[in-house]
Amino acid sequence: MSADSWQTFADAIAEENRFLAELGAAALALTDALVCGTPADIEATERKVEAMRVLHGHAHGKRQTMQKRGFGDLNLQQVCAYAPVPLRRKVYMILHELTTRAIALQITVNNNKALIMAGMNRLIRTVEVLQRSMTEQPGTYRRRGTVPISGGSVIVSRRA
């Protein structure tokens, strides 16, 4: 690779790093919205996360295409070892930031999934309490004995 192509590659890694940082910030905003936001806030924040995910995906694909074309199956750390001396420090710094941000994003995404699952479980428990209170009220007419408490699941849309 020439110095110009290395600079282009370094710029591609930097762009990917920038979009990953913005994706991480959007994911953290989604965490805040899940904890104390309204449904409209959650939906707007989720759209922002999806838009940032698409932008990061394009930048990642661009960098991977350049990397694959120039170095085949070498991983990013191995490619950074081939960088010219003036760019090597910058490329390694960006690689370290990418790794750290990817780990932070993974933790945030797992946290968001746990928050969503806790909300879904809370919704299921609420429905069970409502069903139980409706069937166990005194004075309720039961034609064929007691009405069993439903043990089935609540049907929930995939978009919920």
Q: Which of 102, 94, 96, 97 is nearest to 10 (CA)?
A: 94
Tell which wins on pLDDT, 154 or 44: 44
Beta-carbon neighbour count of residue 15 at 10 Å? 18
Tens digits of per-residue pLDDT, 113-141?
999 999 889 888 888 887 777 766 555 55
- Cα separation, 50 vs 31, whole angstroms: 14
Model confidence, pTM:
0.76
pLDDT at residue 78 in the model: 92
Q: What confidence score (pLDDT) does residue 134 get? A: 72
Q: Between 146 and 64, where is the model more confident?
A: 64
Question: Do residues 70 and 1 lie in contact, with contact meaning Cβ atoms separated by under 8 Å?
Answer: yes
> What would the pLDDT profile of 30-83 be if each residue is shown by its tens digit?
999 999 888 999 999 999 999 999 999 999 999 999 999 989 999 999 999 999
| pLDDT for the residue numbered 130 | 79
Provide the pLDDT for residue 17: 96
